[in-house]
Amino acid sequence: MRSSRDGRRRGRPVLRQRDAHAAAAHRPGPVRGLAIDLGSSGTRAWVPGRGPVACGPAGWEGGTGRPVRRGRIVDPASCAGLLDHLADAALGEHRQDSVIVLSHPVLAGREHRVLAGELLAALGASDAVVLNSASAAAACAGLLGGGPVLVVDMGAELTEVALLVDGKVVDARQADAGLSDLEPRSLAAELARSVLDMITSMWHEDQHGAVRGALRRGPVLTGGGAFRRDVTDLIASCLGAPVRVVPDPSTAVVRGAALILDSVLASSGAGAVSVRPVRLR
């Protein structure tokens, strides 16, 4: 695996809404919504009451012109077109009564987050929420808040480990390599070693016992790597701790984002979406 990026202490809130309370004073609350996971290997979207939406224009998946690589937006124009396509399919042309939630990698830089916010604003929804993927995955697992949680996201081009305490990311590590970078014969060993190195690094810097508490609860495993039993078993063996595998781990982030969308719509009086925390195995 490539070397891990040093984690940084995090304390940012789970949600960042742009003037949501001020906006509510001037117009009716949003009644519809769309959750989007803009990933390196593909884009997933979820609509309240309808479930998953087609993942972008035909030919985008697996193409050389993908707008997101290594968890970062590299082609803003193409990304804008993709988001507009998804918003049209889910919400139609008029979106003033809607909320759009977009997830990003935990250690996405400020430039990426600002760009993602600008692309969301251009879609014309009444409100936009940008949140990190670890918080979304924890929400999907029903573990967002109420103690320390480790989220391990093993994707196509990134591997991330995030430590959340009471719903906030307080530490994170990232390796700029994922499933698509590894040889099949060595994939399980290299992926488990990378995850173990990142968790060990967190352990050494943890002054409050949060990592230990999260390990006792069991790390939450998401992303394509969590489909591999050899990977999950090896991680559990190396850590000496149980692991929690989210059902259909490749959609955990978008389903968790939909749960957070649920709370935003419920606070506006729009009701709840048909997504609930899942049982982990």
Q: Is residue 120 in some structural domain?
A: yes
pLDDT given for residue 269 in this prediction? 57
Q: What is the mean pLDDT of residues 115-137?
A: 92
Domain that holds residue 158: 143-249
| Total domain count, the chain | 2
pLDDT 10s digits, 175-192? 999 999 999 999 999 999
The reply to whether 188 and 127 lie within a common domain is no
**Overall size of the chain counted in residues:** 281
Do residue 131 and residue 53 come from a single domain? yes
CA distance 181 to 128: 33
4 domain-assigned: no
The pTM assigned to this predicted structure is 0.81
Q: Is residue 210 part of a domain?
A: yes
DSSP state of 174: E
Q: In the predicted model, what is the mean pLDDT of the chain?
A: 83
Q: Is residue 72 in some structural domain? A: yes
Task: Please check whether residues 121 and 151 belong to one and the same domain.
Answer: no
Do 35 and 127 fall within a single domain?
Answer: yes
Q: What angle do CA 46, 61, 5 make, to 5 degrees?
A: 85
* Segment 78-99 mean pLDDT: 90
27 and 126 housed in the same domain? yes
Alpha-carbon distance of 69 to 78, in angstroms, equals: 12
Q: Are residues 263 and 132 in the same domain?
A: yes
Residues 154 and 78 in one domain: no
Averaged pLDDT, 243-269: 89
Residue 100 pLDDT > 80: yes
Whether residue 218 sits in one domain with residue 263: no
Tell whether 10 is covered by a domain.
no
> Residues 121, 175: one domain?
no
- Both 102 and 152 in one domain: the answer is no
The CATH number assigned to the domain holding 32 equals 3.30.420.40
237 and 108, same structural domain? no
The confidence score (pLDDT) of residue 22 equals: 42
Backbone angle region of 166, left / alpha / beta, with phi > 0 → left and psi within -120 to 50 → alpha: left
Asked if 173 and 219 sit in the same domain, the reply is yes
Nearest alpha carbon to residue 63 among 82, 80, 84, 46: 82
